């Protein structure tokens, strides 16, 4: 029987030149600019995801992730997906229907954890703080005592507010109340002091595109022994095949059993990004981020701008600065982008239209970037201030 031939439609055919993108300095909430060495690694010729050379590289990536997280967790690996995939992996693997999950919400990404846990049919409870504050140990303990959760989920570095949650003692409380501690480290890994083992963190996740100076596409994930025990005791399969760590561990563990086609070149980039952190030294990386953040904070205050978060809770990677009264915040950020190629973020959720979010992450955490932005704010922000009607009338 002869096959039928159909006409080829050109309805969606485009005639395009090679891709051309402008150079941008990404000083927003992420992504940040990738290190040039990382970009070179990404452009290397791919090799197979079961090639012995790649298998060796996988081990290097895992060991260096343990270094930047300061953990000995066996189950530490980069999820093939963005940070949100790693975020969902923590929920998908741990939550069984009816499990009580307590989410400490102090910003947009706490709300995302709440949403994800609900989708896996958890009994979700919340503790809440205003966007710009952090939880005290007393508040955490009161929540654990009241709700008796199986999991406490909290954001270490809240990207929407610029708050760094103090972690000392929270892990001890979770052990005392027999629950797992799940920690979002998306805007802290590779840039802000993190001690998964010393803090007794049971599950953590992050992303590739912020403190690690890599493009988006991988989601570092780490699971401790207590979480492994809960995973192994599940009554049924993990309801997300792609993110099932019991399957992924057969690929990332010693067996190297095929699970999916890994993003080989992204892991080339991740390997180089982590190698550069190890070469600089983790404490030196943390100190650099802190030093440049303090330079930014002092400069913003010198210009008369108000920072949203108290000094003792500020993130070195993400600064929220209040948009001055009478300034169209979005118009100014568009001006920075279109005229100077600099990206600065706006507010999310409760802070939408109220703050700018300035990121100094990974490769971008450098003095020259701080000074360039401060100079532009000093020289060009005054033109975006609108004189209040009452003041204008008084002058007339």
Domain of 176, CATH number, reads 3.40.640.10
**CA dist 285 → 189, 191, 194 (Å):** 11, 6, 12
Q: Tell me: the pLDDT tens digits for 86-128?
A: 999 999 999 999 999 999 999 999 999 999 999 999 999 999 9
Looking at 256, 278, 300, the residue that finishes a domain is 278
- Structural domain boundaries, residue 141: 36-278
- 6 lies in some domain: no
Number of domains composing the chain = 2
Q: Tell me: the pLDDT tens digits for 268-299?
A: 999 999 999 999 999 999 999 999 999 999 99
Same domain, 81 and 54: yes
Q: Tell me: the pLDDT tens digits for 340-367?
A: 999 999 999 999 999 999 999 999 999 9
Same domain, 51 and 195: yes
Nearest to 318 by CA among 109, 21, 84: 109
Same domain, 195 and 314: no
Yes or no: say if 285 and 267 are a contact pair by the CB < 8 Å rule: no
- 233 lies in some domain: yes
- Tally Cβ neighbours within 10 Å of residue 255: 9
Q: What is the pLDDT of residue 394?
A: 34
Same domain, 139 and 69: yes
- 29 lies in some domain: no
Environment class of residue 39 by beta-carbon count within 10 Å: exposed (0-12), middle (13-18) or buried (19+)? middle
- 43-78 burial, b at 16+ Cβ within 10 Å, e below that, comes to eeeeeebeeeebeebbeebbebbbebbebebbbbbb
Q: Tell me: the pLDDT tens digits for 205-241?
A: 999 999 999 999 999 999 999 999 999 999 999 999 9
Domain of 315, CATH number, reads 3.90.1150.10
Same domain, 124 and 237: yes
Same domain, 96 and 122: yes
Same domain, 93 and 213: yes
- 21 lies in some domain: no
Same domain, 286 and 344: yes
Predicted model pTM:
0.94
């Amino acid at each position: 029987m002869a096959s039928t031939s159909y006409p080829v439609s050109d309805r969606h055919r485009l005639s395009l030149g090679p891709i051309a993108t402008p150079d941008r300095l990404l000083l927003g909430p992420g992504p940040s600019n990738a290190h040039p060495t990382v970009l070179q690694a990404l452009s290397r010729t791919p090799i197979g995801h079961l090639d012995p050379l790649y298998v060796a590289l996988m081990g290097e990536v895992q060991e260096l992730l343990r270094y930047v997280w300061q953990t000995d967790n066996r189950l530490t690996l980069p999820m093939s997906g963005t940070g949100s995939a790693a975020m969902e992996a923590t929920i998908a693997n741990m939550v069984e229907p009816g499990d009580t999950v307590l989410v400490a919400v102090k910003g947009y990404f706490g709300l995302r954890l709440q949403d994800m846990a609900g989708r896996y049919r958890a009994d979700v409870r919340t503790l809440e703080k205003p966007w710009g504050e952090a939880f005290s140990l007393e508040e955490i303990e009161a929540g654990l005592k009241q709700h008796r959760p199986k999991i406490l989920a909290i954001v270490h570095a809240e990207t929407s507010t610029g708050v760094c949650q103090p972690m000392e003692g929270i892990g001890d409380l979770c052990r005392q109340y027999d629950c797992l501690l799940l920690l979002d480290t998306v805007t802290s890994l590779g840039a802000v002091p993190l001690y998964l083992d010393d803090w007794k963190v049971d599950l953590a996740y992050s992303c590739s595109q912020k403190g690690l100076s890599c493009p988006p596409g991988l989601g570092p994930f780490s699971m401790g022994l207590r979480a492994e025990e809960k995973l192994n005791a599940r009554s049924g399969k993990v309801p997300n095949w792609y993110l099932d760590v019991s399957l992924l561990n057969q690929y990332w563990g010693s067996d190297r059993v095929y699970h999916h086609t890994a993003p080989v070149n992204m892991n080339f980039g991740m390997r180089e990004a982590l190698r550069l952190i190890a070469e600089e030294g983790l404490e030196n990386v943390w100190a650099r981020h802190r030093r440049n953040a303090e330079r930014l904070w002092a400069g913003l205050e010198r210009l008369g701008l108000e920072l949203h978060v108290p000094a003792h809770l500020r993130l070195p990677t993400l600064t929220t600065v209040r948009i001055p009264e009478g300034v169209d915040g979005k118009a100014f950020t568009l001006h920075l982008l279109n005229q100077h190629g600099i990206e600065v973020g706006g507010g999310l959720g409760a802070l939408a239209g109220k703050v700018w979010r300035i990121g100094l992450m990974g490769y971008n955490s450098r003095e020259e970037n701080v000074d360039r932005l401060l100079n532009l704010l000093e020289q060009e922000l005054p033109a975006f201030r609108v004189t209040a009607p009452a003041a204008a009338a008084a002058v007339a």
